[in-house]
């Protein structure tokens, strides 16, 4: 019977964890953010290089809409834009990270205009769109590039001061090294044989 409080505590903890997963950035049930998804972006000769893109044509009827997007890497550039073609548009944009109250970037769109931002982040980020005039028609776009592959240079230097995998002192003197190793093995064998004869 003493285990009942423990099971109640465990159940409450699991429910809180589930709520945290369902509500990114906070546990406020009144805020239901919409997840934006990426699609592969490959277009030769395009303004943006290959990567992933999320292109969303939206109409907003309420005062504030919340969106979030996942799958970002610190090693990839991220481009965000909100584009309005409505001459009467009056929109405020907040880009959030840890929660909806912590705003990292903010901007506004009035009339036919575009708000854009470039940054790097890890994991996900939230987008809060406040429409001062409704309905608001706009396009949300998030693009992220492929992860940059950085080749680490070797820290080893050859006798001539150059770096490289096989182009060093050993490669240039490979024949000498092999002959020296064979000579050492032969000398060791002869010394061992001589020692056995004496005994």
pTM here? 0.62
List the chain domain ranges: 25-145, 151-199
Q: Name the phi and psi angles at 55, rounded to 5.
A: -115, 120
**What's the pLDDT tens digit per position in 21-58?**
445 666 567 888 999 999 998 876 656 668 999 999 99
Judged against a pLDDT cut of 60, whether residue 8 lies above it is answered with: no
* Domain boundaries 25-145, corresponding CATH code: 2.60.120.380
At residue 92, what are phi and psi to the nearest 5 degrees?
A: -115, 135
Residue 126: the pLDDT is 94
């Amino acid at each position: 019977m003493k285990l009942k409080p423990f099971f109640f505590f465990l159940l409450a903890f699991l429910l809180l964890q589930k709520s945290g997963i369902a509500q990114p950035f906070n546990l406020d049930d009144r805020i239901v953010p919409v997840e934006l998804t990426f699609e592969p972006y490959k277009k030769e000769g395009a303004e943006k290089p290959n990567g992933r893109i999320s292109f969303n044509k939206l109409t907003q009827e309420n005062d504030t809409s919340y969106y979030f997007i996942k799958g970002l890497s610190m090693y990839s550039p991220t481009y965000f834009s909100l584009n309005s073609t409505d001459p009467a548009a009056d929109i405020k944009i907040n880009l959030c990270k840890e929660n909806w109250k912590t705003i990292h970037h903010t901007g506004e769109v009035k009339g036919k205009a575009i708000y854009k931002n470039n940054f790097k982040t890890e994991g996900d980020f939230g987008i809060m769109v406040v429409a001062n005039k409704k309905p608001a028609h706009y396009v949300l776009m998030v693009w992220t590039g492929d992860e940059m592959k950085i080749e680490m240079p070797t820290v080893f230097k050859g006798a001539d001061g150059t770096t490289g995998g096989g182009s060093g002192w050993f490669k240039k003197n490979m024949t000498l090294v092999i002959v020296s190793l064979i000579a050492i093995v032969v000398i060791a064998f002869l010394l061992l044989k001589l020692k056995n004869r004496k005994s």
